[in-house]
Structure 1
Amino acid sequence: AKNPADSSVDELVARAEAHLAANPSDGRGWDVLAPVYLRMQRFADAAAAYRNAIRLDGDSAVRQAGLGEAIAGAAGGIVSADAQDAFEAALRLDPANAKASFYLAMALAQEGRGKEAAAAWQVMLGKLPPDSPWRGAVEQALAKSGSEVASGAAAKGPDTGDVDAASSMSPQDREAMINTMVAGLDDKLRQNPRDPEGWMRLVRSYVVLGKTDQARDALGRAIAVFGADSDEAKKFTAFGASLGLTVTE
């Protein structure tokens, strides 16, 4: 009975939730509620709402990009494989979707592929309208990636250039080179363990090499460094799950 203009956001959301509980097939209702959940940082609820909207009202770039952002938010900002799938689906529907492009570049940065991420953000800057709200985010991301490159940041796993260079080697030499690089990263992290991105590169490198036990061990060590209740530990756990890893006691 209350005028919506006099209601708080929480009250409006509660009314929408009550409506959807009674009318779960109202795709438009889920579509309206999903971005509100996202702004409220209720990421799991946002992901569920976007999935319902897609199931009931069909695919769209905006819905897929929102779903990807919700999945990444629930994982503490890590752009997991599921989030990447959603962003790639958004770009197939709308190649100019800025949110999807931004987060896919972020995924490259999180994988230690800083140069590729910076190149992707530069391409975005060249295409974004002058008044786009994404320009600031892209410029900030580029500045951060540039400072990390300039400072040498942390040791990293093999990048695409290293893989290209290894392609002309014998299988034995190639494997030895990659193993040496990964072992170097592992050693670097033993000496300077408070490097969240370095730990994620190490875990991913072990997974790519098929060394699941070492990947799981590295994941456990990373969590131990920052503490099991830390924000970093939550990100590591979500990142590991996206790679099919669970943390052992």
Structure 2
Amino acid sequence: MFLWIILAVLTAAVAAVLLVTLARGAKSEIPDRAGEIAVYRDQMAELERDREQGLISAEEAEYAKAEIGRRLLSAAGEAESQSEAPAGRTGLTATGAAVTLLVPAVGLSLYLLLGNPQLPDQPLAARLENPGQNMALLVAKAERHLAENPKDGAGWDLLAPIYFKARRLGDAELAFRNAMRLLGTSPERLDGLGETLVAANDGIVTEDARLAFEESLRLQPDNPRARFYVGLGLEQAGRRDEARAAFEAIAKASPPDAPWMDLIRQHIAATGGTPPQAAEATNGPSADDMAAAGQMSEGDRQNMIRGMVESLAARLQDDPNNLEGWLRLVRSYSVLGDKEKAEEALKSGLKTFPAEGSEGQQLIALAREVGLAVEGATQ
């Protein structure tokens, strides 16, 4: 409440100090000639006494008197010119004073016009107590709580996925590990830790990530999320047959219209298998085409997969009100390594499903998961 008053007082004090300094400076610029004139007059009187006492000849006295007189007249002339020109120095002082006072005066006027002097102070502690919907303050509040209570497993469990979505991967890993240390392992925490490790290593399923997903499967054998990453790790390690078997097992256990099925079909085809037919076969490949994919070369297989993705993109242009379609299209382009088209698909999807809505938030979450730039897409 009183912050603006304190700032105004401090500003006035600084201005006063500057004005006093300028005033002293203006006075000190005028040298004191009166003392110099008095010295010359004393020298003239002393010279006259020496001549009368015969200590100096009349001729030497005249020469000395002439020199002292010349200096006396010069000093007197300068003193007179300074006394006749005070206006110029006063003008300089007035200019300095005006500049010194103008800045705080303008600032105070703008604050009174645009600011709110009656707004009560809200220190950080108060803001953290009532963060509202401000996610940054919610996170700061949780972090402050954990700094004081580091053994609060529920706090770490809450922060871990938030850190992951914010791409604070080092903090996310620490939070997941602390939550598991304090609360025990669970499929959700193990999957979160594994995905964090994968994201931190540019999509590579590391040994630590693989162990986390395998432990998650031990606790929940039908967990498609963990099964996918285990299969992806096998594929990245060049163990194509084992990877294909893992992806086919996921496809067999999943509904045909499951949101992850397009991605599973792509990985089955990429590892030399025959993807199951999609639930939406409109404008898509026939069963014979899907069976033939297993006999294709790697290049032909990739072309076929890309054709399927382009077909989905064309359908979405005609019928954009299909959230699942946009999710599949963004993920498909990401798997194909076509980041530019993935970002275009994300922008197109967000035109139909704005980022402020729940559907748009699903697109944003997927974009962050696959490493796309979210800021540019929402503009």
TM-score (norm 2): 0.38
Q: For residues 98 and 115 of structure 1, what CA distance do their matches in structure 2 show?
A: 18
Alpha-carbon contact 1:64-1:87 (below 8 Å) kept: no
Alignment pair present for 1:159 and 2:266: yes
Higher relative contact order (CA 8 A, sep 6+): 1
Once residues 303 and 183 of structure 2 are traced to their aligned partners in structure 1, the CA distance between those partners, rounded to angstroms, is 45
1:156-186 deviations in whole A, cap 9, x for unaligned? 5753454435454345533432221111111
CA gap of 1:80–1:100, structure 2 versus 1, over 3 A, is farther
Query: Which residue of the partner structure matches residue 78 of structure 2?
Result: none
CA contact (8 A) 2:197 2:209 kept: no
Deviation readout 1:13-32 (Å, 9 max, x if unpaired): xxx98774335xx4xx2325
Query: Residue 62 of structure 1: CA displacement?
Result: 0.9
Instruction: Find the partner of 2:162 among 18, 27, 44.
Output: 44
Residues 56 and 194 from structure 1, CA distance in 2 versus in 1: closer, same or farther, beyond 3 angstroms?
Answer: closer
Aligned mates of 2:220, 2:334 — CA distance in 1: 30
Shift of the 53–213 alpha-carbon distance from structure 1 to 2, 3 Å rule, reads: closer
Q: Could you tell me how far apart the structure 2 residues matched to 1:94 and 1:172 are?
A: 35
What's the offset of the Cα at 1:230? 1.3
The aligned residue for residue 218 of structure 2 is: 96
Which structure 2 residues correspond to residues 46-85 of structure 1 after superposition, within 5 A? 51-52=174-175, 54=177, 62=185, 65-66=188-189, 68=191, 82=199
Q: How many residues were matched structurally? A: 189
Identity %: 26
Contact residue 355 and residue 364 of structure 2 kept, 8 A: no
1:180 has 2:298 as partner: no
Does structure 1 retain, via aligned residues, the 8 Å contact 2:164–2:172? yes
Query: Is 2:190 the partner of 1:190?
Result: no
Could you tell me how far apart the structure 2 residues matched to 1:244 and 1:237 are?
A: 10
Q: 2:152 corresponds to which residue?
A: 30
2:218 aligned counterpart, secondary structure: coil
> Which ranges of structure 1 fall in alignment gaps of 5 or more residues?
1-15, 73-78, 121-141
Match of 2:354 among 201, 218, 227: 227
Q: 1:105 to 1:170 in 2, by over 3 A?
A: closer
**Which consecutive residues of structure 2, in runs of 5 or more, have no partner in the other structure?**
1-141, 166-170, 231-245, 273-291
Q: CA deviation at 1:66?
A: 2.4
1:207 aligns with 2:330: no
SS of alignment partner, residue 301 of structure 2:
helix
Name the counterpart of 2:363: 236
Report the Cα distance in structure 2 between the residues aligned to 1:215 and 1:195, rounded to whole angstroms.
16
Q: Is the 8 A contact 1:219 1:236 kept in 2?
A: yes
Amino acid at match of 1:240: A
Greater radius of gyration (CA): 2
Give me the CA root mean square deviation.
4.9
Shift in alpha-carbon separation, 1:65–1:239, aligned structure 2, 3 A: same
Q: How many Å separate the matches in 1 of 2:221 and 2:144?
A: 30
8 A contact 2:161–2:172 mirrored in 1: no
| CA offsets 1:33-82 (integer angstroms, 9 cap, x no match) | 445x48xxx9527996883472598599616732646999xxxxxx9965
Q: Distance in 2 between matches of 1:173 and 1:192?
A: 29
Secondary structure of the 1:178 match is helix
TM-aligned CA deviation for residue 97 of structure 1: 1.3
Do the aligned partners of residues 89 and 232 (structure 1) sit closer, same or farther apart at CA in structure 2, a change above 3 Å counting?
A: farther
Preserved contact between residue 200 and residue 236 of structure 1 (Cα < 8 Å): yes
| TM-score normalised over the length of structure 1 | 0.53
C-alpha distance 56-228 of structure 1, shift in aligned 2 (>3 A): closer
